[in-house]
Copies of this chain bind each other. A is one copy, B any other.
Amino acid sequence: MHLCNSPLLTDLYQLTMLQGYFDQGMTDQAVFEFFVRKLPPKRNFLIAAGLEQALEFLEGFAFTTDELDWLADCGHHFSEDFLDFLGDLRFTGDVHAMPEGTIFFPDEPILRITAPIPEAQIVESRIINLLQFQTLIASKAIRSVLAAPNKFLVDFGLRRSHGAEAGLLAARACYMVGFSGTATVLADKVFGIPTYGTMAHSFVMAHEDEAIAFQHFAKSQPDNVTLLIDTYDESAAIDKIIRLAPSLKRSGIYINAVRIDSGDLGKTAIMVREMLDKGGLGDTQIFASGDLDETALERLLRERAPIDGFGVGTRMSTSEDAPSLNCAYKLQEYAGRARRKRSAGKQTWPGRKQVYRLYNGAGTVDHDVLALEDERQDGEALIQCVMQGGQRVSSSATLTEIRERVMTSVCRLPSQFRQIDESVAFKVQISQRLQELTHALDQELH
């Protein structure tokens, strides 16, 4: 794995609080839950993602000698015996979570950590960092899949992703929700995600003649010839391709596709389709890219643009219209007692919780119930134990399994939730006992 899991990738206050817990001998079990407070505008649901990386982080959690030496000299107040304690610190707790690919809604925890408070606290910053990003991207990318079902969708987001890890994990998040693959090569090596590539304008521009560029590319990539046609003039490029095709065919090379990357993609595609068909290249597909997102895809499909596949980049891999989730990782119980934060606008539901999903007769999701873990409720319990005493209880789901879970879950949503331009609110009921516990905590004086 190429992820940065240094325990120093954390907020300073985690370490200063840990020194405080250490000084007071506070090591009781803490229960933290990660949840999203509010849906971003234009999202009807979210898709849980990032659990695999979160578990890897927890499994590998340890300070190196170099990191401890650095902490000793970094100018903040950490005692020597506290640094010894950090040196021995590993994650030994339990993790309960919704499997990756589960649809969820505000206030529903998708991950719960139960561990001695120093362990549960120190992992906060990175756990949020890992869960929020892939959940953000999966929940954005599914919208492209819904807008262009049955189309070939490829993640083109690496270059404008926020750094290396974002590029790599965005490839994973969008493959998880149904993209066909990614252009990011490392995502194949690390996650086994299919990769697709075409050619760039620079390849054409490095040749004196566009037709020769096409010919060279086809000979070098005989199994997958996708030619970029908008470097200078699309119809001139298509003319060249039509003239080139017969000689390539004699060498057993077929032109799989052409790519359009600028201008009015729909109009250009219609013109290109016509020319290709007339030119005997009826099997050559059209691939489009450039500033695409679910709205653009839906419009192109509505206009019946004859486009077979799309490269979806920046707007998906940065979740351009909503580049963050209002999410939190909050203490819900300590030393056996439920806790509740009451800050204005940031109140939490206390205690260890479970989410139950209820379906109607036709198998469509009806509503969810947010309840305490130990109360019996009807419906499908979405949160499962995935780690016990710092060890996984089962092997991770494959990306293929997660893709299937996403598809099944999305199909069971009422159809209006699958619209990309309609806002519908989902009903999450709060169980009687959870309401009572909340009320009881509010009555206590602090």
Task: Tell me if A377 is interfacial: C-beta within 8 Å of chain B.
Answer: no
Q: What CA separation (Å) do A342 and B231 show in the bound complex?
A: 6
Q: What CA separation (Å) do A19 and B220 show in the bound complex?
A: 6
Asked whether, in the complex, the Cβ of A197 is within 8 Å of the Cβ of B129, the reply is no
Asked whether, in the complex, the Cβ of A232 is within 8 Å of the Cβ of B160, the reply is no
CB contact list, A157-199 vs B, under 8 A: 158-170, 183-186, 188-189, 195-199
Asked whether, in the complex, the Cβ of B26 is within 8 Å of the Cβ of A334, the reply is no
**Inter-chain contacts of A210 with B (CB < 8 A):** 446
**Residue of B whose beta carbon sits closest to that of A196:** B12
Asked whether, in the complex, the Cβ of A262 is within 8 Å of the Cβ of B346, the reply is yes
Interface residues on A, range: 35 or more
Task: Tell me if A252 is interfacial: C-beta within 8 Å of chain B.
Answer: no
Task: Tell me if A285 is interfacial: C-beta within 8 Å of chain B.
Answer: no
**Inter-chain contacts of A233 with B (CB < 8 A):** 342, 446
**Inter-chain contacts of A224 with B (CB < 8 A):** 16, 76-77
A201-B331, A231-B341 as given contacts; A166 in contact with B168, CB under 8 Å:
no
CB contact list, A211-233 vs B, under 8 A: 216-217, 219-224, 230-233
Distance from A362 Cβ to chain B, minimum over Cβ atoms (Å):
38
Count of chain copies: 2
Asked whether, in the complex, the Cβ of A4 is within 8 Å of the Cβ of B331, the reply is no
A185-B11, A323-B318 as given contacts; A76 in contact with B162, CB under 8 Å:
no
**Inter-chain contacts of A67 with B (CB < 8 A):** 189
Asked whether, in the complex, the Cβ of A76 is within 8 Å of the Cβ of B195, the reply is yes
Q: What CA separation (Å) do A185 and B161 show in the bound complex?
A: 23
Asked whether, in the complex, the Cβ of B201 is within 8 Å of the Cβ of A12, the reply is no
- 29 example contacts (A-B, Cβ-Cβ < 8 A) are as follows A2-B4, A2-B6, A9-B184, A12-B183, A13-B183, A13-B199, A15-B197, A16-B199, A16-B221, A17-B200, A30-B202, A76-B197, A77-B220, A129-B164, A136-B162, A162-B166, A162-B170, A162-B323, A163-B163, A163-B165, A205-B334, A205-B339, A205-B340, A206-B331, A230-B344, A262-B343, A262-B345, A264-B344, A320-B324
CB-based closest 3 A-B pairs: A12-B197, A163-B165, A263-B344
